[in-house]
Amino acid sequence: MRFSTSAAVQAGSLLASTLQLGVNAAALPAGKLAGYQRSESGRGYGGQCKQTKVVILGAGIAGITAAQALANQSISDFLIVEYQDDIGGRVINKPFGLNAATGEPFQVEHGANWAQGLGIGNGAPENPIWTFEKKHNISTRPSNFELIMSYNETGEVDFLSEIDAYEEAFAEMLVEAGELLTNNIQDRTVREGFSLVGWKPELREHPQAAEAVEWWLWDGEQATTPDESALIFGAAVSNFTFLQFSEENNFVIDQRGHNTWIKGEASEFLNQGTDGTYKNDPRLLLNTIVSNVSYSDDGVIVLAEDGSCISADYAILTFSIGVLQHEVITFEPEFPSWKKTSVESFQMGTYTKIFMQFPTNFWGTNEFFLYADPIQRGWYPIFQSLDAEGFFPGSSILFVTVVQRESYRVERMTNEQTQEEVMKVVRAMFPNVDVPDPLYIDYPRWTNTPWAYGSYSNWPPATTLEQHQNLRANVQRLWFAGEHTSSSYFGYMQGAWFEGRDVGSRIAGLVGGTCTNDGDEDGLVGGAGDVGACGEMVHYVVLHGTTTLDEYNIENGWDGTSFQTNGLGKEEEEEPLARRGEGMEKKRPQVGWAARNPRRAKAKAKA
């Protein structure tokens, strides 16, 4: 259901604007000097490298919010570099179908479509995203999850009682997750959490129905399965949004586009263009693709595919975790091991809405339609009507959502192939209706979108809070922000906003020579007055497990002498079985694979 945001990626032809020249030869990375001729002053490179205090890579929520934080602290010397031709990142709308009343297409949201956890009443804090949407008069409509019908391959079948069973189990699981966190007990998958509180779809009277409900209420929110999600953090992100704020979900129908509020906020500080609009502010660089980022203790240099170059004292990188994992940008030097590991430890989900406009509405006035496929979990499972009252009445628009593996599959298919599959499901759901083919069908290919490579992030099992902190942490003068760097709101728009504001404020403190936070708190080390350390993010070079060395023993099933790893010392002869485990607390556990892998054992023998 949710689709969060972060940033896109980069810059434009406006790079030759009113910025100072000033790149020292020593600052450019080795191997990247080719094509950059030294100017007569010895400071610039053919006029290509421009200097600024802060370069922000990406103009999604995190990037725009970081820039706003700088502007709020009177720092105006920055550049925002963006891949697309406008700001907004993954909060993006596209024209679709035809609005008979206007003769123009409807605007539908390919990206973030809901404001979630609004914070309405009962003394709850207000979600900042909802604050901005109200400020900029974004048109929304509350989603009514009571207006739902359920179906299988034979037509309408009422299995909505499974929703109550699921929600009861989910509530119990949240309690269990809280106990794991507070008592420092090892995390589990959400699937394990469900099983331990008695929710096992395969054992219920109607397994396919239970699977459909679970998909709708878990996969349809997280864009990943319970098997691929961490219990503690999956529960926490739900609590932070829906218990801290509130349970409301408002669907955006604004025909200006959901990203209107982002553009509205940008217009408050990006207003130096000749026509007074954000788009013509020379600090906003659109339509350029970043190819290389070089960083050090002295600054950051950004190279783009068009040959342009930016030198900055600091950089804030707000690209999605999907972009980082696809390695489409080279970093010099390469990220240290702790940073590379953290990037690969997180997960990018894909959430795909397949929009269809029909000649007529044949499904009625309900808002949601849940389908339980007899064979495959997650096979075109949830349909939503935009023809419902308060949305686009008379539009005859219906969309169906798939995620992850099914998203990857339909992304490789043509619209026509996908339509054929979807219509088989729709006609099975309405067997007594002469269902027409849609007039229009369209959907995004998020996994293949080069400035996103996915929809929003998810916290996978085995990723600890410290590992995630390494994802947040800066490497020298290169900083990071986005929904994926938020431990409390990953995957949500508010996560991108909070992280963008936080990092922007920290960089403002660094640029201004003062700290926004003092002491060792909030992921910071150092304090005011120590500009070299001020605002530095905590990171962990070595992350230790929760199993102590002396627990790697035979009592715990650890046959230490059966594993061998190069570089862990001399190989010892196998001890008699009765002696194994003796003195294990004094020995380094051997955790390699050679002895269990014949190929590696042979390779080792030859070495």
Tokens coding 96: 């679709």
Q: What is the pLDDT of residue 558?
A: 63
| CA atoms in the 13 A half-sphere facing the CB of 130 | 22
> CA-CA distances (angstroms) from residue 404 to 6, 221, 345, 411?
19, 12, 17, 10
> CA-CA distances (angstroms) from residue 217 to 195, 214, 226, 250?
16, 5, 11, 16
Cis? peptide before 333, omega within 30° of 0: yes
Q: What is the pLDDT of residue 535?
A: 67
Q: What is the pLDDT of residue 489?
A: 95
Q: What is the pLDDT of residue 345?
A: 97
pLDDT in tens, 431-472: 999 999 999 999 999 999 999 999 999 999 999 999 999 999
What value, to the nearest 5°, has the Cα angle with vertex 243 and ends 238 and 245? 105
Calpha distance 385→389 (Å, rounded): 10
pLDDT in tens, 248-285: 999 999 999 999 999 999 999 998 666 667 888 999 99
Q: What is the pLDDT of residue 42?
A: 27
What beta strand segments (E) does 131-274 contain?
A: 140-142, 148-152, 155-156, 249-252
pLDDT in tens, 494-546: 999 999 999 999 999 999 877 644 433 344 333 333 333 356 788 999 998 87
pLDDT in tens, 79-131: 999 999 999 999 999 999 999 999 999 999 999 999 999 998 778 899 999 99
Beta-bridge mates of residue 95: 107
Percentage above 90 pLDDT, the chain: 72
> CA-CA distances (angstroms) from residue 186 to 180, 194, 466?
7, 16, 14
Beta-bridge mates of residue 330: 292
Q: What is the pLDDT of residue 546?
A: 76
Per the annotation, does 435 bind a ligand? no
Chain mean position to CA 568: 38
Tokens coding 598: 């014949």
In 3-state terms, what secondary structure has residue 343?
helix
pLDDT at 586 over 60: no
Q: What is the pLDDT of residue 168?
A: 98
Q: Which amino acid is at 210?
A: A
> Residue 545: exposed, middle, or buried by beta-carbon count in 10 A (0-12, 13-18, 19+)?
exposed
pLDDT in tens, 303-336: 999 999 999 999 999 999 999 999 999 999 999 9
Per residue in 530-542, is it b (16+ CB within 10 Å) or e — as a string? Answer: eeeebbbbebeee
Q: Mean of the pLDDT values across residues 126-154?
A: 96
Q: What letter would DSSP give residue 101?
A: T
| CA atoms in the 13 A half-sphere facing the CB of 451 | 31
Say which CATH superfamily domain 13-89+259-347+456-537 falls into: FAD/NAD(P)-binding domain (3.50.50.60)
Q: What is the pLDDT of residue 573?
A: 40
> Residue 175: exposed, middle, or buried by beta-carbon count in 10 A (0-12, 13-18, 19+)?
exposed
Calpha distance 240→225 (Å, rounded): 20
Q: Which amino acid is at 164?
A: D
Calpha distance 224→385 (Å, rounded): 23
| Domain range summary for the chain, segments of one domain joined by + | 13-89+259-347+456-537, 549-606
Q: Mean of the pLDDT values across residues 180-198?
A: 95
Q: Mean of the pLDDT values across residues 571-580?
A: 38
Looking at every residue in the chain, the average pLDDT score rounds to 84
pLDDT in tens, 28-61: 443 343 333 322 222 334 447 899 999 999 999 9
Per residue in 384-396, is it b (16+ CB within 10 Å) or e — as a string? Answer: bbbbbeebbeebb
Q: Mean of the pLDDT values across residues 333-352?
A: 98
Q: What is the pLDDT of residue 272?
A: 62
CA-based nearest residue to 507, from 79, 5, 127, 22: 79
Q: Mean of the pLDDT values across residues 384-406?
A: 97
Beta-bridge mates of residue 142: 250
pLDDT in tens, 403-441: 999 999 999 999 999 999 999 999 999 999 999 999 999
